Amino acid sequence: MEQLGCTGDVVANGLEVLEALQRVPYDIVLLDCLMPEMDGYEATVKIRECERRRAPGFDRKQPVRIIAMTAKAMQGDSEKCLAAGMDDYVSKPVQIADLRRALQQWQPADDDASDTSVDANESPGSGPARVGSASPLAVPNGNVGDTPPKPPVDLERLNEVTAGNPEKARRIIGTYLKQADEIIRSLDQAIQGGAANDVRNLAHKLGGASSACGMVAVLPPLAQLERLGEAGRLNGATEAYAEASQQLERVRQFLNSQLGNLQAARRF
């Protein structure tokens, strides 16, 4: 949500949603349908009832917008959400594009008292929307986002390849970084020497290794280098190379910070 320019609070269940709404004039509530204590449907019915009664905290001009997060991308669910009084729904795992669409559609109108906007870039004058969210909050997957600040490593993929085994993870990370350093050095030489075909092959090789184990941040500059090499024109290769080695450093730092966690998670 922060990627989309919203600020949000997270609560644990339907009851807490009601309490939070009494305290804070949220614009939008992201509601998980399957929640303990009070599920999303029930919570929605309660919220709408409070709004009808104009209960304390529920007496704003506009009813709060409720977007369901449902684990099931099934037909029928949408009707169920809407029947309960929700405005919209997104399927879990939540894709950032879906969330963006839903948030943009339901962002508060300009004349609203809590004048806010979901995408700060599109309406520069307004502050961020306040979004309440009931957990378990689905975190947008790192490799589907299209906004810059996403983690440089797809840990889910890395975890899948290493079958959740931290020893194996450490070994693969070690192998990857060693090989990546060598290839990056060779790439530099190949670019300096104008060897387009070598640039293509080296970038292809490192790209393959990186995507195999989830080192996603280096992929775009490597893909560019591969294209340039393929075309036999190395204009712009130096910039792409600089970007690739910078992203590799980001990956390295991220992995170093994660290695501690891997150690802690030894029980797997």
Size of the site for other proteins (CB under 8 A): 38
If one asks whether residue 172 binds other proteins (CB under 8 A), the answer comes out as yes
If one asks whether residue 164 binds other proteins (CB under 8 A), the answer comes out as yes
**Residue in the block written with tokens 């797809």:** 154
If one asks whether residue 201 binds other proteins (CB under 8 A), the answer comes out as yes
If one asks whether residue 261 binds other proteins (CB under 8 A), the answer comes out as no
Secondary element (H or E) of residue 31 = strand 28-32
The single residue among 35, 64, 90, 99 that binds other proteins, judged by CB under 8 A, is 35
If one asks whether residue 236 binds other proteins (CB under 8 A), the answer comes out as no
If one asks whether residue 220 binds other proteins (CB under 8 A), the answer comes out as no
If one asks whether residue 212 binds other proteins (CB under 8 A), the answer comes out as yes
Shortest spacing between CB 34 and other proteins, in angstroms: 5
Name residue 249's amino acid. E
CA atoms within 13 A on the CB side of 156: 7
The span from the CA of 54 to the CA of 69, in Å, is 26
Shortest spacing between CB 209 and other proteins, in angstroms: 4
Measured from the CB atom, the residue of 27 and 154 that comes closer to other proteins is 154
The span from the CA of 112 to the CA of 183, in Å, is 56
If one asks whether residue 209 binds other proteins (CB under 8 A), the answer comes out as yes
If one asks whether residue 162 binds other proteins (CB under 8 A), the answer comes out as yes
The CA distances from residue 264 to 129, 165, 166, 258, 260, in Å, are 37, 12, 9, 10, 6
Q: Which stretch binds other proteins (CB under 8 A): 45-53, 59-67, 162-170, 245-253?
A: 162-170
The span from the CA of 251 to the CA of 218, in Å, is 8
If one asks whether residue 179 binds other proteins (CB under 8 A), the answer comes out as yes
Measured from the CB atom, the residue of 118 and 213 that comes closer to other proteins is 213
Residue 102's contacts (CB-CB under 8 Å, 6 or more residues apart) are 67, 88, 89, 90
If one asks whether residue 208 binds other proteins (CB under 8 A), the answer comes out as yes
If one asks whether residue 167 binds other proteins (CB under 8 A), the answer comes out as no
Residue 242's contacts (CB-CB under 8 Å, 6 or more residues apart) are none
Asked if omega into 124 is within 30° of 0 (cis), the reply is no
If one asks whether residue 185 binds other proteins (CB under 8 A), the answer comes out as no
The span from the CA of 268 to the CA of 237, in Å, is 42
The CA distances from residue 167 to 140, 177, 221, in Å, are 28, 16, 30
**Under rule CB under 8 A, which residues in 44-103 are in contact with other proteins?**
71-75, 80, 92-93
Q: What is Dmax (Cα atoms) for the chain?
A: 76
If one asks whether residue 106 binds other proteins (CB under 8 A), the answer comes out as no
Q: Name the residues that contact other proteins, by CB under 8 A.
A: 13, 34-37, 39, 71-75, 80, 92-93, 136, 141, 143-144, 157, 160-164, 172, 175-176, 179, 201, 204-205, 208-213, 268
